[in-house]
Amino acid sequence: MATIEELSKISSQVRRDIVRMVTAAKSGHPGGSMGITDVMTTLYFNEMKHDPKTWCRCGKGQDVFILSAGHLAPVLYAELARAGYFPVSELGTLRKFGSRLQGHPCVTDALPGVFKPSGSLGQGLSVAAGIALGKKYDGDPTRVYCLCGDGESEEGQIWEAGMWAVHHKVDNLIAFTDWNGQQIDGPTKSVTGLEDLSEKWGSFGWDVIIADGHDYESILNAFALAHNENGKPKMILFKTEMGHGVDFMAGTHEWHGKAPSAEQCEAALAQLPETLGDY
């Protein structure tokens, strides 16, 4: 497992990857991807039981990650590449014609690490809950993880899946929400008024954990608490900052789906230490 110092270095490099990928593609979603980077790095390099050498799309005997908020594909691709699922150099093909790395993840036999396509928001939690129940039936002790967005949580299917997961007692499901308070149209409170997500998930019968998505000790502790097998699915609400790590991108919805210019890319990279080597 990676130490906190190692996690910090990986996260810095992943943020560099995200900025460079989206800039080269002239399209993509850097803000949310950078905001959830610390959590995703902890997931792939400390929390999950997985091995790119033995990865199988059936998910048996391994932890499974489902990206429900599919527009956060840049951070998933960067984490997978840095974890050894495919060459880091391939990150430069994001959104290019014929690339395996499309704007939202697509399942192909040639792209390891991706269990399902992610496009329409709200569907991933249903899939994750179903896989978790399947593991229960199979006697498979591994877990299922699912990343949702707070804006995505306006989708009704999220709450349908929430009820179903409680009913079937899938306590091997650890979902987590990128709780940054931003979505493409502006602050979530000005779009549908989600209010307190912790009260909502708690009322549905989930175990709710609130953590700082930029503090590794808080992230690690949250995942540790989520291992409690008490018959309830887990929802970790990670408080994050969209665009975290770059001052002019941080804390605003303006970078939800906007690619930096070449000059903005250089300015962003100047704030992100290169730790593992660029592709």
- The Cα 47–Cα 62 span in angstroms is 12
| Cβ within 8 Å of residue 244, ≥6 positions away | 34, 35, 37, 38, 214, 250
84 touches 112 (CB < 8 A): no
**CATH no., domain 4-269:** 3.40.50.970
- The Cα 228–Cα 190 span in angstroms is 35
pTM: 0.96
Residue 87 main-chain phi, psi, to 5 deg: -60, 135
* Strand boundaries in 9-157, DSSP class E: 64-67, 144-149
Rounded to 10°, the helix 216-225/4-25 angle is: 100
Per-residue pLDDT, 194 = 72
- The Cα 203–Cα 218 span in angstroms is 24
Residue 57 burial (CB < 10 Å; 0-12/13-18/19+)?
A: middle
Per-residue pLDDT, 192 = 77
Short-list 130, 115, 61, CA closest to 85: 115
76's tokens? 């998933």
Question: Domain map of the chain by residue range?
Answer: 4-269
99's tokens? 């690339």
**Sign (positive/negative) of CA torsion 80, 84, 87, 89?**
positive
Per-residue model confidence as pLDDT tens for the chain (279 residues): 899 999 999 999 999 999 999 999 999 999 999 999 999 999 999 999 999 999 999 999 999 999 999 999 999 999 999 999 999 999 999 999 999 999 999 876 778 999 999 878 999 999 999 999 999 999 999 999 999 999 889 889 999 999 999 999 999 999 999 998 777 776 777 777 777 899 999 999 999 999 999 999 999 999 999 999 999 999 999 999 999 999 999 999 999 999 999 999 999 999 999 999 998
Per-residue pLDDT, 176 = 98
Per-residue pLDDT, 88 = 97
